[in-house]
Amino acid sequence: MDSRRVVITGLGAVSPLGLSVQETWEGLREGRCGIGRIKAFDPTGFPCELAGEVPYYRIQDHVPRTYRKAVKLMCRDIELAVVAADEAVRSSGLITKGIDPEKVNVDPTRFAINLGTGIISCDLTELGPAAVVSVTDGQFDIHKWGKDGLEHVTPLWLLKYLPNMLACHIGIIHDLQGPSNTITCAEAAAHLAIGEAAQVIARGASDLALAGGAEAKVNPIMMIRQCLLKRTTPDSNDSPQTACRPFDADAQGSVFGEGAGIVVLENVNNARRRSAPILAEILGIGHSHNLNPAYECLEPDGKGVQIAIEKAMADAEIGPEDLDLIVPHGTGIPSDDLAEARALQAALGTAIENIPVWPTKSMLSTTGAASGALDVIAAVRVMNEGVIPAARNFVRPAHGCHLHIVTRPQERQVRHALCCSYTYGGQTAAIVLRRFDESAVA
Amino acid sequence: MRAVKSQQRIVITGMGIVCPLGNDVPTLWQAILAGKNGAGRTTIFDASTFPTTFSAEVKGYDFRRYTRFGHLHEACSRGSGFALGAAAQACAQAGIEIETDAPADGIDRTRMGIYLGAGEGSLDNDAFFACMIAGWDGEKHEMVWPNATRRALTKMVAARELEQEPNMAAAHVAMLTGARGPARSCLTACAASTQAVGEAMMLIRRGDADIMIAGGAHSMIHPLGVTGFNRLTALSTRNESPETASRPFSASRDGFVLGEGAAIVIVESLACAQRRGVPVLAELIGYGSSSDAFRVTDMHEEGRGAVQAIRAALADAGLTCDDIDYINTHGTSTQENDLIETLAIKTVFGPRAKQIPAGSVKSMLGHLIGAAGAAELITCVLAIRDGIVPATTNLHDPDPKLDLDYVPNSPRKMPVTIVMNESFGFGGQNNVVIVKQYEG
């Protein structure tokens, strides 16, 4: 068996549908919607007052006792990632320092971490006291900020907001000393991080990796940004449950949210040696770039997404007819959905007509850097459960989207699944997963 | 997944830079050899009442010089603008055509990718603080969001908000070059662009691309950036003497000097470079990455992570300690980094450590944060080309605890074949690349 095969042996998820993989999966299977009116702050006045928010949790319950003091250095993005990482490690059967320091069964120097993260928005409540002492005649006064305002900013403030701090905290908790990277490619970040981590293992630089993404977009600055970019759905404040409608004719935009998805990636021989639960194999990775002067939109023909899919399929050495499931990026933004549908059609040809397509953001919302990881986890669960749930809020296809969207649950043995993603800015990614097969030779 | 571990060689064929010491490679190198310093009073914003009033700014730069399509980049952040110039210079040197739909350079655009270690764009400060002031209820000590929101929706501008996203520098470079290959952007603090070059090298080794436009771009010289670093007490406060403030390895060092810029190298498979007939500047032979996994605020006391990254890079290159001619240190001029980095070098190199020149160009350049590693890599390539090791300037009162050969105060003529470039980030991410003189 090729020692460079990379498999998934653990899953962790925090999403608007629940605080675990199981809760998230049950929500997806039942077609529940995790979107509602924003509770984190008063959203009155926003064109879109909706978001996908993670249910209440206490971060102290998800970190080792010895690490509880450090939670004050965690912004919400970090918290979500820490919770998902804890579940991922536990489900893999690995014992890290964060699980039980007395029974560690991994070599920390051979354990990597690679996370997709977003730009972390400042907590304005935290900066408020600094800002209000820096006002002259109702205007912000930088002289006062430099002299007085700055003193009101807590000394370690910056360390809460560096994107690499997600990997930093998780690395400390679980003692991960191997290669560490933080991919900041917004909504494509998790796929890129998982792909890179798989390559790190394949080239022998580590045996294990935590990989995925996390982002907490439910704060005013991030929401204003998406509203200004006209990516949010404008007229759905009274109907949150049907607001996000990927590939549907009545779609008007997306709904944003928060979450974290983290998988344990492992060299196949390492996994076999310890009789780990092998959930799936990373079979192919592709990435490319969208080129559009309107940086927040996909180019109309979806070329960058198409190239990423073609490369992932070539890397996996399978043909379109081998695919049993596609989890598209599908945000509910009509022009982007159309471009992605065109990309899928161009990359996979006529085979696309028969491949079930299952968009998840109608239920999970668009969770930024977490979204690609939650999709990979969802695809793995589909493979393991043998059922493709129905897409939510898909009634009739948007013009030009000739995809076989799953409208009722299908029992199906899924052997190969394709997940794809793209982001404003332009990076695109695709991952091909395979249900693990002991006998297959890569 | 194709499990390719090819033996193909990987080289650098182009370099571009926009930095405090100059806005192209020759100007940078002249300044380095002359021991010039890039720091001065901060002018980008009024920092006169901040604990640190100076920084190392890019001067006299306009990205429009490098593009015929300025409107495509109109709203870009400082960092993204720097990236455009650095990318254009690097592409020109490597014979890569930019801003064309029909390139005649023989490069398949789907085989040419981008990997940047790039930072966030500056906040739109006026709008941001206006919203905060509009929304803050001083009596209840909380934000009244609808008040802030109303202001935000009128004050904030979509394009300027988008340009704050850290992947936008890569987006602009993609528009400039038409690159359709693997595209990633990472932000592992001060180690980001070394990581970007290292991972770009790995993508080519794996066969995912023939050419990667790799490096970094960052400007944290903005009010919240300086606020953050000042509160961490990471910045030098030697306000009376900005040009001597960055003094790595000296006893009186009191923090780093915040810089800004972009540095981009064209990383290419040797086979591709030979096919295209472009000159090779140097060969990339090793890359190592690790994580401290120690504390949020501090480096590991013994430099455990740094040691692991250095050893990983040596192993990747198939080298021993005896093979390194020059170490381009991270050398930030903070008490902690310079001490721990010295320990790590001694741990790896043993008795030979003191014989290897180990200077810090940050003494002149300042700390370019995300762009630092790639900028310093360019100086490594030039050190090999000219057989000159840059000095650590401002080193007049050596720290007795630091006893390596830091190349104090004047550059040194010596043959340089193999150089190690070290970058260590806040948060414990460590990255090291090794570059070698190219021999055909």
Residue at B264 is within a domain: yes
> How far lies A3's CA from each of A442, B2, B316, in Å?
10, 12, 18
pLDDT (0 to 100) of residue B136: 87
Q: Is the distance from CB of A373 to CB of A263 less than 8 angstroms? A: yes
Chain A positions in Cβ-Cβ contact with residue B168 (cut-off 8 Å): 295, 425
Contacts of A426 (CB under 8 A, 6+ apart): A289, A290, A291, A292, A295, A304, B167, B170, B171, B174, B183
pLDDT (0 to 100) of residue B3: 58
Residues B377, B280, single domain; the answer is: yes
User: Does B184 sit within 8 Å of A192, measured CB to CB?
Assistant: yes
Residues B275, B401, single domain; the answer is: yes
Residues B71, B93, single domain; the answer is: yes
pLDDT (0 to 100) of residue B282: 98
- From CA B248, how far away is CA B392, in angstroms rounded? 7
Q: State pTM to two decimals.
A: 0.98
Task: Report the 10 Å Cβ neighbour count for B320.
Answer: 11
Mean residue pLDDT of chain A comes to 95
Region B112-120: what's the mean pLDDT? 96
pLDDT over 70 at B229, yes or no: yes
What string of H, E and C letters represents the secondary structure of B71-134? Answer: HHHCCCCHHHHHHHHHHHHHHHHHCCCCCCCCCCCCCCHHHEEEEEEECCCCCCHHHHHHHHHH
Q: Which residue has the higher pLDDT, B112 or A3?
A: B112
Cβ contacts from A onto B, under 8 A: 315
Looking at the complex, does the CB of residue B164 fall below 8 Å from at least one CB of chain A? yes
Residues B72, B144, single domain; the answer is: no
Q: What is the largest CA-CA distance in chain B?
A: 72
Residue A119 pLDDT class (50, 70, 90 cuts): confident
Chain B positions in Cβ-Cβ contact with residue A229 (cut-off 8 Å): 158, 161-162
Task: Report the 10 Å Cβ neighbour count for A61.
Answer: 10
Alpha carbon A76 to chain centroid distance? 15
Residue at B3 is within a domain: no
User: Exposure pattern of B292-308 as b/e (b: 16+ CB <10 Å)?
Assistant: bbbebbebbeebbbbbb
- Please tell me what DSSP assigns to residue B38: -
Minimum-distance CB partner of A150 among B50, B142, B175: B50
Residue B37 pLDDT class (50, 70, 90 cuts): very high
User: Does A150 sit within 8 Å of B233, measured CB to CB?
Assistant: no
Last residue of a domain, one of B160, B183, B213: B160
Lowest average pLDDT, out of A302-311, B152-161, B429-438, goes to B152-161
Q: List the alpha helices (DSSP H) in B277-318.
A: 304-317
Question: For residue range A13-67, what is the model confidence (pLDDT) as tens digits?
Answer: 999 999 999 999 999 999 999 999 999 999 999 999 999 999 999 999 999 999 9
Mean residue pLDDT of chain B comes to 96
Residue at B2 is within a domain: no
Alpha carbon B66 to chain centroid distance? 20
Question: For residue range B169-188, what is the model confidence (pLDDT) as tens digits?
Answer: 999 999 999 999 999 999 99
Residues B112, B232, single domain; the answer is: yes
pLDDT (0 to 100) of residue A438: 66
Binding-face residues of B in 178-197 toward A, CB within 8 A:
178-189, 195
The SS3 call for residue B163 is coil
Residue at B178 is within a domain: yes
Residues B334, B272, single domain; the answer is: yes
Residue A123 pLDDT class (50, 70, 90 cuts): confident
Residues B270, B404, single domain; the answer is: yes
pLDDT (0 to 100) of residue A442: 40
Angle between helices B145-155 and A220-228 (to 10 degrees): 40
Last residue of a domain, one of B104, B138, B160: B160
Percent over 70 (pLDDT), chain B:
99
Region A278-289: what's the mean pLDDT? 97
Residues B135, B71, single domain; the answer is: no
Residue A1 pLDDT class (50, 70, 90 cuts): very low
Cα dihedral B379→B384→B385→B386 (10° resolution): 90
Region A147-175: what's the mean pLDDT? 95
pLDDT (0 to 100) of residue A121: 75
User: Which CATH number covers residue B192?
Assistant: 3.40.47.10
Looking at the complex, does the CB of residue A204 fall below 8 Å from at least one CB of chain B? yes
Among A104, A126, A181, A416, the strongest candidate for a mutation testing the B interface, having the largest count of B CBs within 10 A, is A181
Region B370-395: what's the mean pLDDT? 98
Expressed as residue numbers, the domain containing B89 is: 10-122+164-436
pLDDT over 50 at A441, yes or no: no
pLDDT (0 to 100) of residue B7: 74
Query: What ipTM score was computed for the predicted complex, to two decimals?
Result: 0.97
On the CB side of A394, how many CA atoms lie within 13 Å of its CA?
30
| Residue A245 amino acid letter | R
Q: What are phi and psi of B233, to 5 degrees?
A: 55, 35
User: Does A4 sit within 8 Å of B3, measured CB to CB?
Assistant: yes
Binding-face residues of A in 125-184 toward B, CB within 8 A:
125, 127-129, 131-132, 134-135, 138-140, 142-147, 150, 153-159, 161-165, 167-169, 171-172, 174-184
- From CA A121, how far away is CA A223, in angstroms rounded? 10
Residues B337, B406, single domain; the answer is: yes
Residue at B143 is within a domain: yes
A6-124+156-434 carries CATH number 3.40.50.10540: no
| Residue B128 amino acid letter | F
pLDDT (0 to 100) of residue B16: 98
Residues B130, B115, single domain; the answer is: no
pLDDT (0 to 100) of residue B342: 98
> How many domains is chain B built from?
2
| Residue given tokens 């990339």 in the structure block | B284
Question: For residue range A390-437, what is the model confidence (pLDDT) as tens digits?
Answer: 999 999 999 999 999 999 999 999 999 999 999 999 999 999 999 987
Q: What angle do CA B185, A256, A217 make, to 5 degrees?
A: 60
- From CA B213, how far away is CA A412, in angstroms rounded? 43
The SS3 call for residue B161 is helix
